[in-house]
Amino acid sequence: MKMNRENFKDQEIYELVKHEIEREEHSLILIASENYVDEEILEVQGCVLTNKYAEGYPNKRYYSGCRFLDQIESIAIERAKALFGAEHVNVQPHSGSSANMAVFYAALKTGDTILGMDIAHGGHLTHGARASFSGKFYNAVGYKVSGKNEMLDYDEIRSIALKEKPKMIIAGASAYPRTLDFKKFREIADEAGAYLLVDMAHIAGLIAAGCHPSPVEHAHFVTTTTHKTLRGPRGGLILCKQEFAKAIDSAIFPGIQGGPLMHVIAAKAVALKQAMTEEFRQYQKQIIKNAQRMCSNMEKQGYRIVSGGTDNHLFLVDLTAKGTTGKVAQEALEKSGIMVNKNLIPFDGRGPNITSGIRIGTPAVTTRGMKEPEMDMIAELIDRVLTSPEDEAVYNKIKEQVKTLCKRFPFYSKIYQI
Ligand code: DSN
C-alpha cells in the first residue's frame, strides 16, 4: 500500500495518517457507528476513479468518457437492489445526511410537518433536530421512548401522528438498542396519511444479513449509510419504491449534489458484494452476540443498562449511579485506548456535551475477530477505568492491556508497516 512509502512528498499528512493507522490498530473501537474496511475497499476508494466527473446517471451523463463508470454504478445499483430487495436504488448520496435531505426534498415542501425520534432519545440530527436542515426548514415534531421501559411506545407514536398529521414519519435511530417494528410504523403512517422514511443507517448490515427485520417492503423510502454495520466506504444510499424513483434521482442530482464520487460508489459496490456472503451473515450474528455478552457483563458489574439490554449492535450505559458523566468516562476511556462516545440517555438531566451515559457498539471489534471471551475482558477493562476515572496510573496500565489484546487480533498491521 502507498502509505508505506517513506518518500511520500507531503510528510506532514503522511505522518498524521500513519498515526491514525496506529491508533485504529492499537485501540478498542467501540463507537457503534464505526468499523474497519478491508484492503480491497481501501484500494478501490483510493483509485483513479476519483479523477472522473460523471454528473447524471448510467448512460445519461453530461460528460464523455463515462463508459466504465456507467458499468460500475449499474453494478452497485443492482447489488443494492438484490441485497435489500429494493425496487429502486440511488447509490450517489455522499452521506446519510445527504440521503435524508434528498428524501425530504423529493417528498416534502418547506414547512411541512415531520415526525421523527427525538435526538435526546436516540434519534439522528436529520430526523428533526433544531440545529439541522430537518428542524430549520420543516415543522419537526418528535416522539420519545416510554418512561416505563425506555422502549418505543407505538400507541403513543400513533396518537402523536394522528394529532399532528405529519406529511412524513421517520423511523430509525442512532442510539436505540431495540428492534424496530417497521410494520407498525407503516400502519401508523397510513392511518395518519404520511409517508414512511426508514433511516436504517445503524442496522443496515444486520438487515442485510437477516438479523433484524427489513423495512424495505414497508417504507416508501429507506436511507442508509454504507460505513457502519454494512462495513463499506463512508457514504449513503437511498432505496425506494419505483413510483418515487424519478423524484429521488432528481433530488440527488441536480437537486442537492453535483458530480458523484465514483471511487466511493465503486467501493460501495465491493462492500455490497461482501455483504451477500455467508461470512458476512456470520459476522453480523457475532456482532449481536458480542453486544449482548458485553452488555450483560456490564450489568453484572452494577451498571444500569438503558432499556435493560440490547437486541442489536449497541447498548447505552447509564453512569448516574457510578457518580460520573459521559464526558468524563469518554475522556478516561480514550486515554486508556478504549473509544466510546458520550451519549444522552432517555430523560437525561444533563446536556449533550456532558451527558449521563455512554454508547457502546461492537461492529469494529467483531471485524477484528473478537468474540465472547474478549467481550468479557473488555467489560472488565471498562469497569476498571470507570471506577478510577481520574487515575493516570490506571489509564497507562489499561492502555498496555488494550494494546496486548489488539495485537492478538491484528488488522491493519497485516497491510501497513506499523
Ligand atoms: N454520527 C453517527 C453516529 O455516531 O451514530 C450518526 O450519523
> Is the pLDDT reported for residue 331 higher than 90?
yes
Q: With left for phi above 0 and alpha for psi between -120 and 50, is residue 90 left, alpha or beta?
A: beta
pLDDT at 7: 78
Q: What is the Å distance from ligand 1's center to 168 Cα?
A: 22
Q: What is the Å distance from ligand 1's center to 364 Cα?
A: 14
pLDDT at 65: 98
> Which residue, 363, 357, 337, is CA-closest to 345?
357
CA-nearest residue, atom 1 of ligand 1: 33
Is the beta carbon of 124 within 6 A of some atom in ligand 1?
yes
pLDDT at 240: 98
Active site residue 53: yes
Average pLDDT over residues 412-417: 90
Active site residue 395: no
CA distance 228 to 32: 8
> Is the pLDDT reported for residue 3 higher than 80?
no
> Is the pLDDT reported for residue 6 higher than 80?
no
CA distance 11 to 26: 22
pLDDT at 20: 97
Question: Over the stretch 227-244, which tens digit does the pLDDT of each residue have?
Answer: 999 999 999 999 999 999
Active site residue 350: no
> Is the pLDDT reported for residue 1 higher than 60?
no
Question: Over the stretch 23-55, which tens digit does the pLDDT of each residue have?
Answer: 999 999 999 999 999 999 999 999 999 999 999
> Is the pLDDT reported for residue 397 higher than 90?
yes
State which of 117, 119, 124 you would mutate to test the pocket of ligand 1, scoring each by most atoms of that ligand within 8 A of its C-beta: 124
Catalytic residue among 55, 164, 181, 334: 55
pTM here is 0.97
State which of 228, 237, 340 you would mutate to test the pocket of ligand 1, scoring each by most atoms of that ligand within 8 A of its C-beta: 228
Q: Which residues pair with 414 in a beta bridge?
A: none
Average pLDDT over residues 402-408: 98
> Which residue, 244, 217, 265, 225, is CA-closest to 104?
244
pLDDT at 249: 98
Q: At what angle do helices 392-408 and 11-26 cross, to 10 degrees?
A: 90
Q: What is the Å distance from ligand 1's center to 252 Cα?
A: 21
pLDDT at 63: 97
> Is the pLDDT reported for residue 157 higher than 60?
yes
> Is the pLDDT reported for residue 174 higher than 70?
yes
> Is the pLDDT reported for residue 82 higher than 90?
yes
Cell of 385: 477505568
State which of 31, 33, 199, 343 you would mutate to test the pocket of ligand 1, scoring each by most atoms of that ligand within 8 A of its C-beta: 33
> Is the pLDDT reported for residue 357 higher than 60?
yes
Average pLDDT over residues 197-220: 98
pLDDT at 4: 67
> Which residue, 8, 2, 16, 23, is CA-closest to 406?
23
pLDDT at 418: 79
Average pLDDT over residues 372-383: 98
Q: Which residue pairs, CB below 8 angstroms and at least 24 apart, start in 3-7?
A: 3/416, 4/416, 4/417
Active site residue 55: yes
CA-nearest residue, atom 2 of ligand 1: 33
User: For the ranges 4-8, 187-191, 198-202, 270-274, which has the lowest average pLDDT?
Assistant: 4-8
Average pLDDT over residues 159-182: 98
Question: Over the stretch 285-307, which tens digit does the pLDDT of each residue have?
Answer: 999 999 999 999 999 999 999 99
| Contact by Cβ (8 Å): 234, 207 | no
User: For the ranges 6-10, 116-120, 324-328, 334-338, which has the lowest average pLDDT?
Assistant: 6-10
> Is the pLDDT reported for residue 216 higher than 60?
yes
CA distance 86 to 37: 24
Name the phi and psi angles at 393, rounded to 5.
Answer: -65, -35
Q: What is the Å distance from ligand 1's center to 60 Cα?
A: 33
DSSP strand pairing (113-117 vs 139-143): parallel
Confidence of residue 2 (pLDDT cuts 50, 70, 90): low
Q: Which residue pairs, CB below 8 angstroms and at least 24 apart, start in 372-375?
A: 372/289, 372/290, 372/293, 374/405, 374/409, 375/290, 375/293, 375/294, 375/297
CA distance 191 to 93: 30
pLDDT at 417: 84
State which of 121, 132, 174, 360 you would mutate to test the pocket of ligand 1, scoring each by most atoms of that ligand within 8 A of its C-beta: 174
Name the phi and psi angles at 120, rounded to 5.
Answer: -75, -10
Active site residue 199: yes
CA-nearest residue, atom 3 of ligand 1: 33
CB neighbours of 229 closer than 8 A, spacing ≥ 6?
A: 35, 202, 203, 204, 205, 206, 284, 287, 313, 363
pLDDT at 175: 98
Is the beta carbon of 98 within 6 A of some atom in ligand 1?
no
Is the beta carbon of 174 within 6 A of some atom in ligand 1?
yes
Element (H, E) at 106: helix 96-107
> What angle is formed at CA 231 by the lines to CA 413 and CA 67, rounded to 5 degrees?
105
Q: What is the Å distance from ligand 1's center to 58 Cα?
A: 30
Mean per-residue pLDDT of the chain = 97
Q: What is the Å distance from ligand 1's center to 265 Cα?
A: 20
Helices (H), 165-244: 182-192, 204-208
> Is the pLDDT reported for residue 317 higher than 60?
yes
